[in-house]
Structure formats: structure tokens, C-alpha cells
Amino acid sequence: MRIKKIKLKNYRQYKDITINFCKEEEKLDLHVIIGLMGTGKTNLLNAINWCLYGDEPHLSRDSDQLPILNAMLLEVDQSDKEVFVELILENEEGKEIIISREEKFNNIK
């Protein structure tokens, strides 16, 4: 089983993004995520874990106190918000399996 695609909406610093993990038939199916410190590499892994298990095991002490909701949304308007993570997996036979988790937040000042 492999991750084919991940969709993130309002999860931590990700506002609305889809990441495709393309596979070329004849090449090794390996993806490396690189970036500067603080750009969201660990939060991407936490999003996968949160979607599957409802847990974020790789949070720093500072991040553990922050809401899972993208903090910039709280400054924009007072409407209710949602956090959404969807994993599109592909099994050995090529069948897609979709797993998603959503959490709604009431924005009260």
C-alpha cells in the first residue's frame, strides 16, 4: 500500500493544498520531503498520522499548545472553520482507498 495523494485544508500552516505522490512504473517508488526548518515537513507527517489515528505524535512543546486549525484563519473572519485531511491510498492491485478526517471549529472571540 502506498500514499497516492494527500489533501490538506486549514491544517496548521497549510491552507488548501494537494500533494501528489506520482509513481513511475519502472522506477523505485520513493519520495523525499526536504525543506528549511519550520516549513511544514513534520506537520505533513503529523497530518497523515492525525488522519489515520487522530493523533499528532511529533509535535514540539511549543506546537502542542497551538490549535490544529490554521491560525491565520482566525484573524480573517468570525465564521466557523474546519480542518480536513484526506489520504488517497493505492493497494497492490491498484485499487484506491480514501481515508479522511475532519474537525469543525466554532470561531468565538
The 10 Å Cβ neighbour count of residue 46 is 21
Q: What is the pTM of this model?
A: 0.80
The pLDDT assigned to 78 comes to 66
The 10 Å Cβ neighbour count of residue 21 is 14
User: DSSP secondary-structure letter at 45?
Assistant: H
Give average pLDDT by consecutive 10-residue segment, the chain, 109 residues.
Answer: 94 92 78 89 92 82 64 68 94 94 79
List of E strands, the chain: 2-11, 14-20, 81-90, 96-105
The pLDDT assigned to 74 comes to 63
The pLDDT assigned to 98 comes to 97
The pLDDT assigned to 66 comes to 62
